[in-house]
Amino acid sequence: MNKNLFKILVALVVGFAALAVSTSTSVSAEGELTFTVGVTQDIDSLNVTVGFLVIDYEIWNLTLPSLTSKAASDFSILPYMAESWTGSEDGLTWTYKLRSDMKWSDGEPMTADDVAYTITRSVADGWWNHTPVTGNLTATATDAETLVVTSSVPDPKLPILDVYIVPKHIYEKISAEELPNYLADDNVSGGPFQIVERKEGEFVRLVQNPNWFGKEPAIEQLIFRTFETAEAQYNAIKAGDLDAVDDVPVKIFTSLEAGDEPNIIGIAGNQGSFSYLAMNSSCPTGIGDGHVALKDPNVRRAINWSLDRQLMVDKVLNGFGKPAVSISASANPAFDYQVAADQTYSYDPARAKALLDEAGWKDTNGDGVRDKDGVELKLRYFDRSIGGASDTTPFITGFLKDVGIATDVKTFDEDSLGAIQAKSEFDLYTWGWSPYADPDNMLSNFTTAAVPTDPTVGGYNDGNWCNAEYDALYAKQKVELDPVKRADMIQQMHKIFANDGPYAVLYKYDNLQAFRSDRWQNFVRQPAEVGPIMFTQTSTGYLDLEPISGGSGGGGTNTIVVIGVALVVAGAVFTLVRSRRKKSADDRQ
């Protein structure tokens, strides 16, 4: 009997505890206003010298300061660590006046010394996230609030200094040899938020940085939760476990747009991300084994003419994007290729066939595949296994087949395809780029210097393409301080790239994001009007978000369910107890 009493007690305890949990989960224990974002990508590395994924940049944007910031509207310069700046007459030297009230989250002072250290060390150690900006710079801190930056050449990017500043007092303890394996888990922050907890593959949790000196966010706690599938992620925002979701699949987004979920708003933002088909152009200074046909610009042009880009935008993106014929040099659409529709590629298979004929590739043996000098025009076509990356493949291979080009499709994981690209051992492959605010970085990817020459090092010129005229223009725009002249040079580079280049750019795709509109308001896009809210150049969207008073909190446990579970448990225990008692009575019979 005592034993039975114990069981009943257990049932009651479970029931009460269940009730307790139901009343305590609607807000976190500290009562912090939490914004939870669902992501399908896990952090690659928090180490700013190693990481490269979009999610890594989002965390750095929120935890590492930069000398200057960029306006959400047009990426123009804004104060950040620096309050003001003056340039020398020749434009080579800039003097920045820094705020005096800055501290890292651990209380150490944040000064001009941190900036000078970051610039100097990034050049010395060749930090790949930094050197595109800092490579030509030297910096000295004349005092805690004054920084002098000198460029060895005229630099149109200045006075914007768009790199993450690292805490000197942490990084100076780590040698160059140790740095690649440094996990950056000391969580020292100089941005609006600081990391307080991270479980790999699960979540990263940030709270407000107490020493933050900029605009105070309404969000007190920011959580990025990793999901394995986009469907699970979508169910989580529907259930109210999430406040926002990045990378919503096109089909789900379409149903959101149709108003299927009144509490969820979908935002399709464009910041220049584009997909392309790279064609191995076999630059003579490079390595690799690209198909001989692709060396001929006419064959590459023919491939460009053979594609129905609008069809792919309609079918693969459900319309959330737009066809493109050249790269996006910048997240700012002002730097896009400005060309009249009738002056560039459209869907014209006849023209593609004519170009191939002209280039000498004809179907001489009647097998439906063009050939020349005994070589078949059959191209190795590689794509990626990650979600959606191969959706364009059946379209593209179909278009190519229509004009007499055969393909042999293979799918790889990203790392393996990256390794193949580093050796330039492919004919065609599909991938995507997302540009920065300044066009220099994207444009640099197609210079001869970026052609892979050593497979262990690789190179960003993934079309294995070189063009002396493009290189010369790149070098000129890099040092052109007149923005109008620079923009004109960039347009000329676009023209060369589109006409002669190693890409068939397919389209610019939108970043599809979803938000709980019953809980949050003031969604500020970057760039203005066309861009997304999260995963932007500066990630300032989180600072603008405001809660809707009376909106239901996230992550709550439904009281009725908990009571139900408690009742079931109690019922089960009672049944067990009763059956035992009955049994012992039977035994006595």
Partner 1 sequence: MSNRYVIKKIIGALLTLFAVVVFNFFLFRIVDRDPLSKYRGRSKLSLEQREAMIRRMGLSGSKWDQFVVYIKSTLRLDFGRSFDSTRPVLREIADRLPATLILVGISTALTIGIGLYIGAKAGWARGSRFDRVSTSGTMVLYATPEFFFGMLLLAIVAGRTGWFPTGGLRDIGANYGFVDSLLDRAHHLVLPSLTLTLGYLGSYSLIMRTSMLETLGEDYLTTARAKGLKESDVMTHHAVPNALLPSVSVIAISFGFVIGGAITTETVFSYPGLGLATADAIRNTDLPMLQALFLVASAAVIFLNLVADLTYGLLDPRIRHST
Segment interacting with partner 1, rule: CB under 8 A, options 54-62, 225-233, 339-347, 480-488: 225-233
Q: Interface with partner 1 includes 181 (CB under 8 A)? A: yes
Near partner 1 by CB under 8 A: residue from 1, 3, 30, 483: 30
Site for partner 1 in 414-443 (CB under 8 A): 415-416, 418-419, 422
Q: Interface with partner 1 includes 55 (CB under 8 A)? A: no
Contacts of 327 (CB under 8 A, 6+ apart): 274, 276, 337, 433, 435, 442, 446, 494, 497, 503, 505
Near partner 1 by CB under 8 A: residue from 152, 229, 365, 575: 229
How far, in Å, are 205, 266, 515, 555 from residue 238 at the CA level? 21, 12, 10, 11
Please give, one letter per residue, the 3-state secondary structure of 224-272. EEECCCHHHHHHHHHHCCCCEEECCCHHHHHHHHCCCCCCEEEEEECCC
* Rounded distance between C-alpha atoms, residue 194 and residue 209, angstroms: 5
Q: Interface with partner 1 includes 460 (CB under 8 A)? A: yes
Shortest separation between residue 305's beta carbon and partner 1, angstroms: 32
H/E stretch holding 429 reads strand 428-433
Q: Interface with partner 1 includes 343 (CB under 8 A)? A: no
Q: Interface with partner 1 includes 444 (CB under 8 A)? A: no
**DSSP label of 333:** G
Q: Rank residues 485 and 583 by Cβ distance to partner 1 and give the closer one.
A: 583
Three-state DSSP class for 97?
strand
Shortest separation between residue 547's beta carbon and partner 1, angstroms: 16
Residue 402 carries which side chain, given as an amino acid letter?
D
| Cα 517-519-523 angle, rounded to 5 deg | 55
* Rounded distance between C-alpha atoms, residue 165 and residue 110, angstroms: 10
Near partner 1 by CB under 8 A: residue from 83, 228, 402, 482: 228
Q: Interface with partner 1 includes 36 (CB under 8 A)? A: yes
Near partner 1 by CB under 8 A: residue from 186, 241, 363, 376: 241
Shortest separation between residue 231's beta carbon and partner 1, angstroms: 7
Site for partner 1 in 87-146 (CB under 8 A): 125-126, 128-129
Q: Rank residues 218 and 339 by Cβ distance to partner 1 and give the closer one.
A: 218
Any idea how long the chain is? 589
Near partner 1 by CB under 8 A: residue from 197, 260, 367, 402: 197
Q: Interface with partner 1 includes 218 (CB under 8 A)? A: no
Site for partner 1 in 347-386 (CB under 8 A): 385-386
Beta bridge partners of 428: 279, 381
Taking residue 410's Cβ as centre, other Cβ atoms within 10 Å add up to: 14
- Scan for tokens 């079309």, then name that residue: 463
Shortest separation between residue 315's beta carbon and partner 1, angstroms: 25
Shortest separation between residue 262's beta carbon and partner 1, angstroms: 14
Quick one: tokens of 27?
């807000």
498 neighbors 344 (Cβ within 8 angstroms): yes
Shortest separation between residue 502's beta carbon and partner 1, angstroms: 18
Alpha-carbon dihedral 332, 335, 336, 341, rounded to 10 degrees? 130
Segment interacting with partner 1, rule: CB under 8 A, options 165-173, 324-332, 395-403, 454-462: 454-462
The number of residues that bind partner 1 (CB under 8 A) is 71
Q: Interface with partner 1 includes 556 (CB under 8 A)? A: yes
Segment interacting with partner 1, rule: CB under 8 A, options 4-12, 235-243, 427-435, 487-495: 235-243
Q: Interface with partner 1 includes 232 (CB under 8 A)? A: yes
